[in-house]
Amino acid sequence: MSVASVASRRYTTKAFDASKKITQDKIDELKALLRLAPSSVNSQPWHFVLAASEEGKGRVAKAAAGNFAYNEAKISKASHVLVLCARTDMTEAHLQAVLEQEQADGRFRSEESKATQHVVRTSYVNLHRFTQKDLQHWMEKQVYLALGTLLLGAASLGLDATPMEGIDFGVLDSELGLREQGFTSVVVVSLGYHSDEDFNAALPKSRLTEEVVFTTI
């Protein structure tokens, strides 16, 4: 199956079959995909919370109340739910942790190349922190790169998914204690298998034509 055909099959699920559960081997693949997702200068400014139990999904669902109550069932009836989070700051400790992992993985031929990598990455962080003053937004952009990887990966495994921004992220951050850990929630993704009640499953996919969205120069 081609990547394009997987993308053509993928859609946003509106209703899940609560009786169907994702096997652990597929969950492990999704976790691997998130770890391997690309990020600017390999900054990896993210954290992922996996709700795999009814209790865990219930905690996430607390953020789907009031104006966002329409999303509660998409959380409670899904097999698993992922909360994709961004760091609230790009700390020196995090930059050093990334650098040391790169060294452990054999990416540096010398201490000089290691030092250069740290200088370059820090310069990009400081560009967004001090010059463009959009560090938080920049880090959240990286999380959305991981989201795209997750959605395509889930479809390739025959799984259905629903990315959601219709969530009270303040409630979610508080419930999971994220800000105390240096993170904030950005998007929630429910995963599982669609039910027969999912009207969106039968609808044709609709996108603007190639002629509209591409210019060849």
**How far are the Cα atoms of 116, 122, 126, 153 from residue 99, in angstroms, in the given order?**
11, 11, 16, 27
Using pLDDT thresholds of 50, 70 and 90, give the confidence band for residue 64.
very high
Report pLDDT for 178: 99
Residue 59: what residue type?
Answer: R
Rg from Cα positions in the chain: 19
On the question of pLDDT at 94 being above 90, the answer is yes
On the question of pLDDT at 59 being above 90, the answer is yes
Mean pLDDT of the chain: 98
8 Å CB contact between 50 and 31: yes
Average pLDDT for residues 22-50, to the nearest whole number?
98
Q: How far apart are CA 15 and CA 108, in angstroms?
A: 47
On the question of pLDDT at 191 being above 90, the answer is yes
Report pLDDT for 1: 82
On the question of pLDDT at 130 being above 90, the answer is yes
List the catalytic residues: 14, 74, 165
| Domains of the chain as residue ranges with CATH | 3-212 (3.40.109.10)
- Of residues 51, 40, 95, the one with CA closest to residue 75: 51
Average pLDDT for residues 201-216, to the nearest whole number?
98
Q: Read off the pTM.
A: 0.98
Average pLDDT for residues 185-214, to the nearest whole number?
98
Report pLDDT for 14: 98
Q: Let me know the angle formed at the C-alpha of 65 by 191 and 142, rounded to the nearest 5 degrees.
A: 50
8 Å CB contact between 47 and 151: no
Q: How far apart are CA 176 and CA 172, in angstroms?
A: 6
On the question of pLDDT at 32 being above 90, the answer is yes
In percent, the amount of the chain with pLDDT more than 70 equals: 100
- Of residues 142, 133, 160, 166, the one with CA closest to residue 60: 166
